[in-house]
Amino acid sequence: MTKTCNYIMKSIFNILCIIVSPICKQTRAILLFFVWVLLCNPFYASAQSPEAQKLYAAGKTQYDSLEFDRAIISLTSAINLHPQYADAYSLRGNAYYRKKEYDIAIADYKESLKLRPDVAAVYYNMGDAYLLKGQNADAIKMFKEAVRSGPQDINNYNGLLRAYSTTDNMAALDMCNEIIRRFPGVSSGYSSRAAMYVTMNQYDKGIKDYEVAIGMEPNNAYLYQNRGIAYRKHKKYDQAISDFNQALRLMPDQWQWHAYKAYIYADKGSKDLAIASINEALRIKPEWQTYLRRAAFYESIKENTLALKDYETAIALNPGNPYQYSARGEYYRRKRQYDAALADINKSIELDKSKTEYYGVRGNLYREWGEYEKSVADYKTDLANNPVYSTSSISIVPALVRLGRFDEAKAYAAKVSAYLTNWLKESDWRFYRHYLQVISSDLPVKNYTTALQNLDFAINDYKQFGAGNEEAFTEYVDVLVLKAYVLSALSRNKEAKELYEQTLLMLPTQPDVKAAIAHIGHTDRVLDDSDKLPPVIQLISPQAARGLKIVSANTKVEIIGRANDPSGIATVTINNSPVEQIEEDGLFISSVMLKQGLNNVVIGAIDKKGNIASRTFSLDATPKQEAEAKEAEIILPATEKPPVYHAILIAANDYEDPAIDDLENPLKDASELEAILKTGYTFSPENITTLFNKSREEIMQALVLKSSALTDNDNLLIFYAGHGIAEKDKFGDVDGYWVPSSAKKGLNASYISADDINKALKRSNSRHILVIADACFSGAFTRALVTDASLGIQKQFAVPSRKIMASGNLEPVPDNSRFVYYLKKNLKENTEKYMTAKKLFDSFYEAILNNSETSPQYTAIKNVGDEGGQFVFIKKQ
């Protein structure tokens, strides 16, 4: 009926247009306007009704008082009286928007625009609603209509900018330029473009635009704040502090800026100034919010006892606020104290069930805990209210993958990839876009080869951009687990198992990973039962490789090789003589006498299923004098790239558990060793990682990341100084442990074992790895080590090596270590261009025996790829 009336009224209006056309232009326009109001836009006539006005006014008052449900009732009554009440539709749409019922809000906005199609504010609000639903294309369309209807309002352009910035940086940058063109005297155009440049890591351009904006508004404190943030990201800490100081001069009561300054000082290494800044924030605002901020800061600088105390103070000041419990729960989760974390997060949900983001927080806890079904349920509760701007939209994907629900995971992954395109490109989560691509594109068609490539891209991006983001750590583990799954699907079970084991070092609570390892073990046993293939034999040394040749005639030479077979190796023979020592990974070492000239070496191997293999190798032995001359100096091949040296320096002085005594010297020793490596040897500062007073998880993550990232042109030195313990296992063997700062006395799971170190290093492609351990009972790490490393090939830089140098055997070592004293002294005093780790050890071995009660150890690490080579320190020229 209403549509019919509208049609009739518009027809009458069109006829009147023809009738009045001879009248002068101005009079005709006025006449037609009044005719349109009376005939074709019933809202204006009906809006004069006192009852309608009263209902609308009541709804407006209720809306302004945030009583959205009551406002909706009043506005609905107004609409029922007058179905063409455009403002009532628009305001009711706003009320539904505020209730996060975006679909209903959009429907009301559409009704309002049917009645009055050129109201920019309604287009703008509808664009916002679409943006919150993740429908970027629709949002862009609405914001464009807002710009068309209200071209003089900068807010409409800013809405379009927000929509572009989620998916297309270049389009967003163009919109910034358009805002600057249309509104040249408004600073926000420059500040928006500056923010885009900073997002794109173009810090110099961003800072330049902030300078323009500040020139236009020199008393705008927020511009100094934003430029300070850009300076911090650009690692220009002094300029960042200067900007925050200027912002505080303009707005001295902004306690948050003092808190932010604390982080800048911490980045700069000025811990005392950092603590002073965070305390100044608390002086200005001695309330629960500031205690939470200081707690987070203390946690960031590893002052965990102080952090926990501040979390507790914040709760005591405002016990009815759920946020504090959630914040402390997150702290406990990061410390792997899952029971305490769950109790706190449950409390936050109990206090306010309407804030579904707490369900997302609990979902993260359950996922990290290995309770994947519970995590998915919590994520879905959160997403029902926050379909786009919620971490649950990201986290639900790996939780579903862990449950094997790949179709569901694919749907969520596609949504996240679509509406977080820019964020995934530019943030330190950029590694995750490759993971989502694998889930949404590669796995559904079982394209495992492409999946493996994309997962490697993800791993490389994480190492380059995301390694400092602690919140992305669990998702990075998800990437590694998925790679292991793909490797297993490609029947590369050995690699899959090793990678699965590394992820357990980083995050022990993964029941699906433990099940996958068990399944691989079962599969391998099945394969072993049907094994009909002979072993594969490889000669590792001696050989002329990379310019190093040391085979001499008329002397014994050690033969190093490897025999591989899925069922395991039973026996190995060299020239019909049995090899006595065969490692678990098939590595074998034996001696043969070579005569001058060509020598045939026949290596035979029998696997545990009786399959036989034999290979003959020819070795050309040089005269002894020539071989000795070649051994006199290590010569790196001129045709190769210079070797790259990396170091991980681990030191534990301060222990969180009061039952473990603090130490005085480990940090000092590690810092001095760092200086020696930087100044005296070819260790670039950017390749040295210092882990001082770090947790077990942080140490294991660094070891896995660094060792797996290296190539055969890289060499890795790992140094540990801190407490060490040794315990006998049920077989009577002695297990050695490093004790990190986060350890709990008597809880072996909080220590770092020799097996942990071996698993972390097993997948490394680096040429040489040298572990130097200065801790009590560090010799216990050699229980699983080979003790007869080849003397004849210790200077062969070309042959891979995995060695450990320990300050003692099965005895305590003092805090003031003679081992480290001589290690640093001899490295400093060394004048040779090339010095092997064995030669370094030999240079102070007797001195330690004569001047201490300890017995240093130097040997090869078992089953992680040692082939008898040698780590070589290269002096700077």
- Determine the number of helices (DSSP H) and then strands (DSSP E) in the chain: 37, 19
Q: What is the pLDDT of residue 816?
A: 59
My answer on whether 408 and 427 are in the same domain is yes
Share of the chain above pLDDT 90, in %: 45
Q: How much is the average pLDDT of 296-301?
A: 92
My answer on whether 426 and 540 are in the same domain is no
Q: Which of 41-55, 597-611, 780-794 has the lowest mean pLDDT?
A: 780-794
Q: What is the pLDDT of residue 193?
A: 96
Q: At 734, is the pLDDT very low, low, confident or very high (cuts 50, 70, 90)?
A: low
My answer on whether 460 and 370 are in the same domain is yes
Q: What is the pLDDT of residue 584?
A: 66
Strand partners, 734: 728
What is the CATH number for 124?
1.25.40.10
Q: Which residues constitute the domain of residue 197?
A: 185-252
My answer on whether 781 and 706 are in the same domain is yes
My answer on whether 562 and 444 are in the same domain is no
Alpha carbon separation from 480 to 445, 462, 803 (Å, rounded): 20, 11, 27
In a domain, 639, yes or no: no
In a domain, 805, yes or no: yes
Higher model confidence: residue 702 or residue 626? 702
pLDDT at 553 over 70: no
Domain boundary among 494, 529, 564: 529
Domain boundary among 183, 216, 234: 183
What's the pTM value of the predicted model, to 2 decimals? 0.70
In a domain, 311, yes or no: no
Q: What is the pLDDT of residue 277?
A: 97
Strand partners, 835: 873
pLDDT at 830 over 50: yes
Highest mean pLDDT out of 29-33, 704-708, 732-736, 856-860: 704-708
In a domain, 335, yes or no: no
Q: Which of 242-251, 500-509, 528-537, 702-711 has the lowest mean pLDDT?
A: 528-537
In a domain, 301, yes or no: no
Q: How much is the average pLDDT of 300-308?
A: 89
My answer on whether 718 and 824 are in the same domain is yes
User: What are the structure tokens assigned to 537, written together?
Assistant: 């034999």
My answer on whether 583 and 465 are in the same domain is no
Q: What is the pLDDT of residue 523?
A: 66
Q: How many domains does the chain have?
A: 6
Q: Which of 227-231, 320-324, 448-452, 710-714 has the lowest mean pLDDT?
A: 710-714
Q: What is the pLDDT of residue 256?
A: 96
What is the CATH number for 379?
1.25.40
Contacts for 596-602 with beta carbons within 8 Å, 24 or more apart?
596/553, 596/554, 596/621, 596/622, 596/623, 597/553, 597/621, 601/539, 601/559, 601/574, 601/575, 602/573, 602/574, 602/575, 602/576
Rounded Cα–Cα distance for residues 795 and 548 (Å): 9
Question: What are the tens digits of pLDDT across the range 172-212?
Answer: 999 999 999 999 999 999 999 999 999 888 999 999 999 99
Rounded Cα–Cα distance for residues 602 and 614 (Å): 7
What is the CATH number for 654?
3.40.50.1460
My answer on whether 788 and 802 are in the same domain is yes
User: What are the structure tokens assigned to 709, written together?
Assistant: 């990232």
My answer on whether 618 and 649 are in the same domain is no
In a domain, 375, yes or no: yes
Q: What is the pLDDT of residue 3?
A: 40
pLDDT at 628 over 60: no
Domain boundary among 167, 183, 199: 183
Q: At 64, is the pLDDT very low, low, confident or very high (cuts 50, 70, 90)?
A: very high
Q: How much is the average pLDDT of 84-99?
A: 95
What is the CATH number for 554?
2.60.40.10
My answer on whether 687 and 781 are in the same domain is yes
Question: What are the tens digits of pLDDT across the range 415-430?
Answer: 888 777 777 776 778 8
Question: What are the tens digits of pLDDT across the range 765-784?
Answer: 888 899 988 765 554 444 33
My answer on whether 617 and 674 are in the same domain is no
Whether the CB-CB separation of 722 and 737 falls below 8 Å is answered with no
My answer on whether 443 and 507 are in the same domain is yes
Share of the chain above pLDDT 70, in %: 82
Higher model confidence: residue 621 or residue 110? 110
In a domain, 429, yes or no: yes
In a domain, 174, yes or no: yes
Report the relative pairing of strands 714-721 and 768-774 from DSSP bridges. parallel
Report the relative pairing of strands 714-721 and 644-651 from DSSP bridges. parallel
Work out the mean pLDDT of the chain and round it to a whole number. 83
